[in-house]
Structure 1
Amino acid sequence: MNAKAAPRFWKLYNRLPRQEQERARKAYQMWKTNPNAPGLHFKRVNDQEPIYSARVSDDYRVLGLLEGNTVVWF
């Protein structure tokens, strides 16, 4: 599975506290290695659209739209 980030993603990412940015980077690296890693809880969260969620920390999640074999994080 591939990934890319929507422009909006980077705007929101840059507003995160530095510690959460680091956690997001680590979560992404884990997702690239194994999207189904237990700590990520990568799962579909919408019945009508292929929208997925992955855990960054207890307080933060990232959302992505699956387009073919690519998740577009937004």
Structure 2
Amino acid sequence: MTSRTHRRFWHEFNRLPAHVQCLAREKFQLWLRDPFHPSTQFKPVVGNVWSVRIGDHYRALARREGDLVLWFWIGTHEDYNHLLGQLR
């Protein structure tokens, strides 16, 4: 898969605590090697929007179109639930 990031993703990423940024980088490296590794929990959540688990309390969202994945958001699980509610 080809991965791209939206500038909004980086805006949200830079607001995360340093330890979460590190965890997100590690999870992304795993996702690059194997997007469907069980610990990534890479799955569709609404239409063409897919989610990746970043630890117990954080998630990242992307739009997937074929082999292109555009990461557009990362944040807390609570904010993730709120955002998914808006997307539905």
Interval containing the TM-score (normalised by the shorter chain): over 0.9
- Read off the aligned partner of 1:51 and give its amino acid letter: V
Runs of 4+ in 1 over 6 A off after TM superposition: none
**Residue 26 of structure 2 aligns to a residue in which SS?**
helix
Aligned to 2:20: 20
SS of 2:9 mapped into structure 1: helix
- Listed as ranges, the gaps of 5+ residues in structure 1 are none
| Cα distance in 2 for residues equivalent to 1:51 and 1:30 | 20
Which runs of 5 or more structure 2 residues have no equivalent in the other structure? 73-88
**SS, match of residue 66 in structure 1:** strand
Instruction: Among all aligned residue pairs of Structure 1 and Structure 2, give the percentage whose two residues are the same amino acid.
Output: 40
Which position in structure 2 is the counterpart of 1:43?
43
Tell me the TM-score normalised to structure 1 length: 0.94
Tell me how many residue pairs correspond in the alignment: 72
TM-score, with length taken from structure 2: 0.79
Query: Paired residue for 1:53?
Result: 51
